[in-house]
Amino acid sequence: MIPISYNVRNLAVRKATTVASASGIALVVFVLASSLMLSEGLRRTMATSGKADTAVVLRKGNNAELSSAIDDPTVGIVRSAPGVKAKSDGTPIAVAELMVVAFMETSDGKGRSNVQIRGVPSDVLDFRPEVRLVEGRPHKAGTDEVIVGKSISGRFKNLRLGDSFELRKNRPVKVVGVFEAAGTSFESEVWGDLDVLREAFGRRGVVSSVRVKLDSPSRFEGFETAIESDKRLGLDAIPEREFYEKQSEGTTLFITVMGVLIAVFFSVGAMIGATITMYAAVANRKREVGVLRALGFSRPMIVFSFLLESLLIALIGGGVGALCSLGMGFVSFSMMNFASWSEIVFRFTPTPEIIGKSLLFGGVMGVLGGFFPALRAAAVSPVEAMRE
């Protein structure tokens, strides 16, 4: 067995080639880890928006609030369904909401995007206790006032506290508050009075969705049966957590696939660079390899030694790339959610699993890049090597 200290010494002696090869692998690991963190950030942002004891009711055949429509009489039937939790006065704990989008200009003036605007009832903050105001005050019921999620406040023109913007032409509303919602997707929305939005968008007597609090998560099946068994209603019920997970599936898949493809393209270049570096090392160390063979080290040992050296380079580069990627955890990112076709803001979210996968990918790159040079080194004849 060739001592590992021999490989470590070779890496230290050949600093330039070691740094060059490790840098390529570091870049690949950084890109892969960052893309996986981005996907995880979106998934968590959407998943944490849902509660285990809450159900979402939509018009049958719709998988997003934007395309769903439920009339007011039907809302009353949903609220009185079995399993719905009630307040101390017997009132069902439920909210009926309208979802619309507005096409708005970004604050830097370089682009436009859809922003979700949610029409909410006056007791919405009681239904969602995780939502709290960080600036200003709540909007007043029946007025042209809105509150804005902190993730998009300032990202779009006229969405700061005190600003005004038009819901529709000649229908201005004023921003009177900024709220946070524990990092959920609600922070990428604008909230206004339900009736005001219905009037502004010509949706009188209609809402997009109904959310109800259940006595417990185990009561969902009974609630679902009661809602979906009546074919006249034409409604679907889904646990809120599952609803938001499905909302993120398309965008998460897109980010992951794109990130992996970019990482694979980069990895090909990094492996070619590592292979060239190791081939050069074999050529320059031909006599050294011959001495090792003359000392009795077998060809498998030579192969293992060079593969180990390549793996060490990959781990060094991978470690640097993974460490740099952790800094992305402080960065927020904004993009279009394919399910709602509106802007959503979320953070890169590092996890031990993502770091482990990225390091493993880097290690595999190192082994593949060093495999053929290792075979080349093992094929060196000790007699011919000593003659050079």
Report pLDDT for 42.
84
Report pLDDT for 302.
78
Report pLDDT for 386.
56
pLDDT in tens, 240-289: 999 988 887 778 888 888 888 887 787 777 777 767 766 776 666 667 76
Instruction: Give residue 380's pLDDT band: very low, low, confident or very high (50, 70, 90).
Output: low
Report pLDDT for 388.
56
* Stretch 308-332: mean pLDDT: 88
pLDDT in tens, 194-238: 999 999 998 999 999 999 999 999 999 999 999 998 888 899 999
* Stretch 49-71: mean pLDDT: 91
Report pLDDT for 372.
78
Q: How far is CA 290 from CA 378, 379, 387, in A?
A: 9, 10, 10
d(C-alpha 246, C-alpha 43), whole Å: 9
Report pLDDT for 376.
75
Nearest-10 Cα torsion for 304, 307, 311, 313: 120
Please check the confidence at residue 5 and state whether its pLDDT lies above 70.
yes
Of the listed ranges 85-89, 121-125, 284-288, 350-354, the least confidently predicted one is 284-288
Q: Which of 164, 179, 188 is nearest to 248 (CA)?
A: 188
Positive or negative, the Cα torsion across 229, 232, 236, 237?
A: negative
Residue 63: φ, ψ to 5° = -110, 10
* Stretch 360-366: mean pLDDT: 85
Report pLDDT for 383.
58
Report pLDDT for 381.
67
Report pLDDT for 196.
93
Highest mean pLDDT among 45-54, 179-188, 327-336: 179-188
What lies within 8 Å, CB to CB, of 8 at 6+ separation is: 312
pTM of the model: 0.78
Report pLDDT for 217.
92
Report yes or no: 373 and 281 within 8 Å, Cβ to Cβ: yes
Report pLDDT for 212.
96
DSSP states of 153-204: TTTBTT-STT-EEEEETTEEEEEEEEEE-TTSGGGGEEEEEHHHHHHHTT-T
Instruction: Give residue 1's pLDDT band: very low, low, confident or very high (50, 70, 90).
Output: low
Please check the confidence at residue 27 and state whether its pLDDT lies above 80.
yes
Q: What is the DSSP letter of 148?
A: E
Domain ranges of the chain: 4-47+247-387, 54-215
Report yes or no: 337 and 324 within 8 Å, Cβ to Cβ: no
Report pLDDT for 159.
92
Of the listed ranges 199-203, 353-357, 365-369, the least confidently predicted one is 365-369
Report pLDDT for 382.
62
First to last CA, the chain: 25
Q: How far is CA 7 from CA 145, 275, 338, 345, 369, in A?
A: 68, 17, 50, 46, 16
Please check the confidence at residue 297 and state whether its pLDDT lies above 80.
no
Residue whose token pair is 């460490």 = 323
Which uninterrupted H or E stretch holds 326?
A: helix 299-326
Of the listed ranges 70-79, 137-146, 324-333, the least confidently predicted one is 324-333
